[in-house]
Amino acid sequence: MLGGYAEIVVPIFLCLFILLWHWRSWNKHSPIINWPLFGMLPGLLQNAQHIHDYTTRVLKHYGGTWEFMGPCFSNMEFVLISDPTNMHHILSRNFSNYHKGPKFREVFEPLGDGIFASDSDSWRFQRKLIQSMIKNKKFDLFLEKVSRGKVESGLIPILDHFSSMGIEVDLQDVFQRYTFDNVCFLVLGFDPNCLSSEFAQVAHAKAFDQIEQSLLYRHIVPESCWKLQRWLQIGEEKKLSIAWKIFDQFVYQCISSKREQLSRSKTQKMKVEEETFDLLTACIEQDEGGEMDCSTKSNKFLRDMAFSLIAAGRDTISSGLTWFLWLVATHPSVEAKILQEMREHLLVNNEREMNWDIKEISKLVYLHAAICESLRLFPPVPFEHLYAIDSDILPSGHPIGPSTRILYSPYAMGRTESIWGEDCLEFKPERWISEEGRIVHVPSYKFIAFNAGPRTCLGKDMSFIQMKTVASTIIWNYRLQVVEAHPVLPKISVVLHMRHGFKVRVTKRDH
């Protein structure tokens, strides 16, 4: 009897072994294997801890466009792209065919119907609304006041404290606190005061971090798994629900307070001060002007808009600052050139007093080039999502079917030799400066840190203002010494943070 089973089972296992051996042989030149049943998921999981560099290598192997095949019946298939020609086609030339789509909205559920999750008419309306608000002269004045004020009242005292104590500090944590205070003030008109010497835990700031962590979890486990957890309210999904509720309470309270404040000002016939003209105020005033319908006058619309703007302005800028100052701290020649440029353009009457006017700082060409170079190598958002509406054929010849998910990688694009040359892995600000001493224009579909096409980031100029304000202040006033043997690696997250923080010792610079 056993011999009969063996006669059946042994040939089956032998056939499977031969099949897998041949499958491995067929894929031996590929950096990732498409296994029977399991697809390419095993290779992706095996390299999850260095996913950004791994996908960069895979994309290089496949010429910048890679079709990922998930396990059978998992619905995990997508196309990953770093080819600038394909990017130009998707983000500009055939823009109408590529939306955020229902899967994006499902995964990034806390964004609600905000601009980053919306498409078509809703997206166009919100983009036009936000554009009109940030171009308001009152908001320009407010941005300048907040950007400089938070540096002077929050950032400098904190760094002076750590300098005098001679102890190390996690600058990534400092920047996250700084940008959370900043963006809440700019968007909601409320300063949470996370950046204080006590480094206290602020409930809604902590909740925001948890939301980001839970959204990453939704990316790395099967959809059925996190949806089951959401239904049962267990594990990471329970943490998300709690954090989401805490942050929403904070935002809705700010909206309610702002409506009451503006109503009181209107009753008393008082004008809103230009120095406190936040985006929430601007949006509510648009509402009162009769330009918005019932749905866009609601607190839910204001909440979704505020959430998207906070998400855009908090972690992206803190990530950008963290990687930039690490690169400057580890490249003394770049630091010396930035300091020299500041001496030439910002010193008042050749004395030690500096002109910290934003317009003057914005004229620093080498500083701007160094920030661009940092964003090229370490874009705050390493992957972006899109969804094909109809069939298409990319310039590379790859067919795209309806409902195909598209991921594109700004991280991989910044490390592509065909775009940036053989020295693409070097931190080299000079590549951004022309012979005439001006910033070289690079098409947005090649330098894609701020997206490209109709979805180009509306806050690009604001981001540069804030990064230059912080970076110039720190570089002029302090020396940063990276703690010896401190590991610097990208964190596996929705935003490109440092996995172990950015530990430094701060000392006052003696000019």
Secondary structure (DSSP) of 272-309: PPGGG--HHHHHHHHHHTT-S-HHHHSHHHHHHHHHHH
**DSSP reduced 3-state for 354:** strand
In the predicted model, is pLDDT for residue 200 greater than 80? no
Q: Is 9 domain-assigned? A: no
Nearest to 209 by CA among 318, 103, 299: 318
Q: Is 15 domain-assigned? A: no
Q: Output the pLDDT for position 123.
A: 93
Q: Is 258 domain-assigned? A: yes
Highest mean pLDDT among 258-262, 310-314, 502-506: 502-506
Sheet arrangement for strand 168-170: 168-170, 503-508, 478-482
303 in Cβ contact with 112 (< 8 Å): yes
Q: Output the pLDDT for position 453.
A: 93
In the predicted model, is pLDDT for residue 19 greater than 50? no
Give the pLDDT band of residue 295 (cuts 50, 70, 90). low
**Pairing, β 384-388 against β 399-400:** unpaired
Residue that is written with structure tokens 């004045």 in the block? 141
**DSSP reduced 3-state for 81:** strand
Give the pLDDT band of residue 494 (cuts 50, 70, 90). confident
Residue scoring higher pLDDT (7 or 257): 257
Q: Is 176 domain-assigned? A: yes
Query: E-strand spans in 254-404?
Result: 384-388, 392-393, 399-400
Q: How far apart are CA 98 and CA 119, in angstroms?
A: 9
Secondary structure (DSSP) of 6-45: HHHHHHHHHHHHHHHHHHHHHTTTSSS--BTTTBTHHHHH
Q: How far apart are CA 309 and CA 300, in angstroms?
A: 14
Q: Is 335 domain-assigned? A: yes
Lowest mean pLDDT among 83-92, 195-204, 225-234, 384-393: 195-204
Q: Is 268 domain-assigned? A: yes
| Residue range of the domain that includes 470 | 31-508
Looking at the chain, the whole-number percentage of residues with pLDDT higher than 70 is 89
107 in Cβ contact with 215 (< 8 Å): yes
Q: Output the pLDDT for position 68.
A: 86
Residue scoring higher pLDDT (416 or 135): 416
Q: Is 292 domain-assigned? A: yes
Q: Output the pLDDT for position 12.
A: 47
Q: Output the pLDDT for position 16.
A: 45
Q: Calculate the CA 91 to chain-centre distance.
A: 18
Q: Output the pLDDT for position 140.
A: 85
Give the pLDDT band of residue 447 (cuts 50, 70, 90). very high
Residue scoring higher pLDDT (68 or 349): 68
Q: What is the pTM of this model?
A: 0.89
In the predicted model, is pLDDT for residue 272 greater than 80? no
Tens digits of per-residue pLDDT, 207-235?
Answer: 998 998 899 888 877 788 899 999 999 99
Q: Is 19 domain-assigned? A: no
Q: Output the pLDDT for position 83.
A: 96
Looking at the chain, the whole-number percentage of residues with pLDDT higher than 90 is 62
Q: How far apart are CA 236 and CA 238, in angstroms?
A: 5
Q: How far apart are CA 199 and CA 196, in angstroms?
A: 5
Q: Output the pLDDT for position 5.
A: 46
Q: How far apart are CA 311 and CA 109, in angstroms?
A: 13
Tens digits of per-residue pLDDT, 419-438?
Answer: 999 999 999 999 999 999 99
Q: How far apart are CA 335 and CA 324, in angstroms?
A: 11
238 in Cβ contact with 131 (< 8 Å): no
Q: In the beta sheet, which residues pair with residue 504?
A: 169, 482
Residue that is written with structure tokens 């500009």 in the block? 92
Q: Output the pLDDT for position 1.
A: 47
Q: Output the pLDDT for position 35.
A: 80
Dihedral over Cα of 459, 256, 117, 179: its sign = positive
In the predicted model, is pLDDT for residue 268 greater than 80? no
Distances (CA, A) of 145 to 206, 300, 430: 26, 29, 32
* CATH number reported for the structural domain that contains residue 179 in this entry: 1.10.630.10
Q: Output the pLDDT for position 9.
A: 45
In the predicted model, is pLDDT for residue 25 greater than 50? no
Domains held by the chain: number: 1
198 in Cβ contact with 234 (< 8 Å): no
Q: How many residues does the chain have?
A: 511
In the predicted model, is pLDDT for residue 22 greater than 50? no
